[in-house]
Amino acid sequence: MEYRGTKASLVGRISNITGISEKILLHKQTLSTVSVAQKMSWASGRNTTRIEDAAYCMMGIFGVHLSLRYGEEHRAFRRLQEVIISSVPEYCGVLATEPRDYAQSGSFSKKKPFARHELLSLNGAIMAKIQLFVETTQKAGYRYLLPLDCCYDSRPEVTLCVRLRKCGYNEFVREDPYGIVGFVRPLLSPIIPANRYLLPDTTTQEWGGMESNNISEPAMNMDLISQNRSHAIQLELPVGMWLHMLDIWPGYRFDGEDQAFNLTGPNFEHDASMLRLRGGILSRFGEPIEVDFECVFCTLGCSSTDENNPP
């Protein structure tokens, strides 16, 4: 056997290949100080003979245990993340499909969370008591942002988030499975912490009724949203008018990005919603006039599928 050197003498080469810092390899830094996202990045380029081994090989790094179930394929990585969520008080994103989703997370460090999260893996989704941020849009609506418990090593002032889309009653799905956005400017956080369901993805295995071949994941997520919004009330606000984000009822059924209310349950014969709007008056030349106003927008509707028994 040819002698190549010691771990100490080869630590630089090993670090370059694996992405693991030299301090970790030389036991000068403990694994508990490393973010979940950074640990995941170490396996993002690893190729295994069996798909399941991409998850099983990381049990020691995270100090967790999984029963071996060869044949479950990508479900093994899902189970690994569910166990991590249950044991590690840190949140670094909605459940990923495979380790390569964390390929760009090698420089992510732990940071103090914005709020303590209560995380629970439930029926293939995450139920979490979290506070979402919002980002205003050009159409006077807002987009949902989930702040992460990690940051760039070199820029701790940047707030890292993943964008979410609302697809049901307090249900959210990640807009882009690989995208992470950073913000230096302050973000709005009018949404109080509440229990929300974070759906991992929209594969046929989890949700059924969809063929995933040759369909991008963002497109599949949009299809999930459209399926859950077969009945909705959608607003189109004129220029110069915007929403009061705190005065929307019922808020759990309103999507600020599409400015739409999901209708209630399986019974679509009646529904009601209300929100408060603010606006300013524009002159015919498009210049704002120093007059602001507020109004309450209410909708109340009923219908019947029985032509002999109208509403």
Name the 3-class secondary structure at 299: strand
Condensed to tens digits (0 to 9), the pLDDT of residues 15-66 reads 998 889 999 999 999 888 888 889 999 988 888 999 999 999 999 988 899 9
Sign of the Cα pseudo-torsion (179, 185, 191, 192, in order): positive
DSSP H or E run through 87: helix 75-87
First-to-last C-alpha distance (Å) of the chain = 86
Sign of the four-CA dihedral 302, 305, 309, 310: positive
Residue 206 has pLDDT above 50, yes or no: no
Q: For residues 171 and 197, is the Cβ–Cβ distance under 8 A?
A: yes
Whether the pLDDT of residue 107 is over 60: the answer is yes
Question: What integer best gives the mean pLDDT of the chain?
Answer: 76
Please give the pLDDT value at position 117: 61
Residue 203 has a pLDDT of 46
Band (pLDDT 50/70/90 cuts) for residue 162 is confident
On whether the CB atoms of residues 169 and 189 are closer than 8 A, the answer is no
State how far the Cα of 114 lies from the Cα of 252, in Å rounded to an integer. Answer: 22
The mean pLDDT value for 105-134 works out to 75
CA angle 213–145–147, rounded 5-degree value: 110
Q: Among 166, 134, 176, 162, which Cα is nearest to 258's?
A: 166
Least confident window among 100-104, 182-186, 198-202, 225-229 = 225-229
What is the percent of the chain where pLDDT is above 70?
67
Question: In what helix (H) or strand (E) does residue 59 lie, and over which residues does it extend?
Answer: helix 59-62
CA-nearest of 237, 234, 233, 232 to 295 is 237
* DSSP-based three-state secondary structure for 224: helix
Task: Answer whether 278's CB lies under 8 Å from 296's CB.
Answer: no
Q: What is residue 101's DSSP assignment?
A: G
Reply yes or no: is the peptide bond before residue 250 cis, omega within 30 of 0. yes
How many Å apart are CA 157 and CA 9, to the nearest integer? 35
Q: Which residues make beta-bridge pairs with 288? A: 282
Map out the domains of the chain as residue ranges.
88-228, 232-302
| pLDDT above 90 for 224 | no
Phi/psi for 101 (5° steps) reads -65, -20
Q: Which of 157-161, 196-200, 204-208, 232-236 has the lowest mean pLDDT?
A: 204-208
Q: What pLDDT, on a 0 to 100 scale, did the predictor assign at position 213?
A: 43
Q: Is 227 helix (H, G, I), strand (E, B) or coil?
A: helix
Give pLDDT, residue 57.
92
Per the DSSP assignment, residues forming a β-bridge with 110 are 150
pLDDT tier for residue 214 given thresholds of 50, 70 and 90:
very low
